[in-house]
Amino acid sequence: MQLVIQVNTVSSSYECPICGEQAYANLGPELFLASGPKPVCRECGDEHAPALAALLDLAASASAFHLQSRDPSPSLCLSAAC
């Protein structure tokens, strides 16, 4: 079974095609079955494609850091002007 990273354009709940559990897909990059447009739950992604799941985690962390660095809160400001 091959998994791929694709951009998810629909934010909704779904049934994982591997385990059958209910999950929720966010907009943006997600793991999908290579054979069709079905997102895979996080647990199955970790089990069947751990490197791709880790890559999605890294991308999410980088995105969160970028957003935080663009609009820092006063508690994160290190300059005397804050």
Render pLDDT for 19-30 as a digit per residue (tens, 0 to 9).
Answer: 999 999 888 899
pLDDT at 38: 87
Q: What are phi and psi of 17, to 5 degrees?
A: -70, -10
With CA atoms as reference, report the closest residue to 55 among 25, 27, 31.
Answer: 31
> How confident is the model over 37-78, as pLDDT tens digits?
889 999 999 999 999 999 998 877 766 655 566 655 555 555
Is 64:38 a contact under the CB 8 Å cutoff? no
pLDDT at residue 53 in the model: 94
Three-class HEC string of the chain: CCEEEEEECCCEEEECCCCCCEEEECCEEEEEECCCCCECCHHHHHHHCHHHHHHHHHHHHHHHHHHHHHCCCHHHCCCCCC
Domain residue ranges in the chain: 1-52
Closest CA to 30 of 38, 21, 39: 39
